[in-house]
Amino acid sequence: MAPTAATIDEWAEGTAFQLPFFVFQGEHDVLTPPAPAKRFFDDVSAPVKEFALIEGASHFASFRRPERFLDLMLTKVRPAVTGELIGR
């Protein structure tokens, strides 16, 4: 799987989205490293977008640090999808 994954061009599908775009991942993820993910995120245009590294986690950060993932879902995603944008 790794050789195939290395050939994927994330930009080929486009970077303009008409819906909120979120990237939450582990700061120590070696399968999807933060630096390339952040480069793609920076190129994305979306009405709302947010990038966050989940501290002390690697791949499957939402399972390794569920309390931090829930916090991001409640403070970043929920307001964006319910229209209750706070602090914008």
Specify if 13 maps to a domain. no
Pairwise CA distance, residues 78 & 84, whole Å: 8
Question: Helices in the chain by DSSP H: which ranges?
Answer: 2-6, 34-43, 61-64, 66-72, 78-82
Specify if 65 maps to a domain. yes
Pairwise CA distance, residues 56 & 31, whole Å: 15
Total-model pTM:
0.82
Q: What is the mean pLDDT of residues 46-60?
A: 96
Please tell me whether residue 62 adopts helix, strand or coil conformation: helix
Q: Of 65 and 7, which is predicted with more confidence?
A: 65
| Number of domains making up the chain | 1
The pLDDT, as a whole number, for residue 8 is 75
Specify if 34 maps to a domain. yes
Range of the domain at 44: 23-88
Cβ neighbours of residue 60 closer than 8 Å, sequence gap 6 or more: 26
The pLDDT, as a whole number, for residue 85 is 61
- N residues, the chain: 88
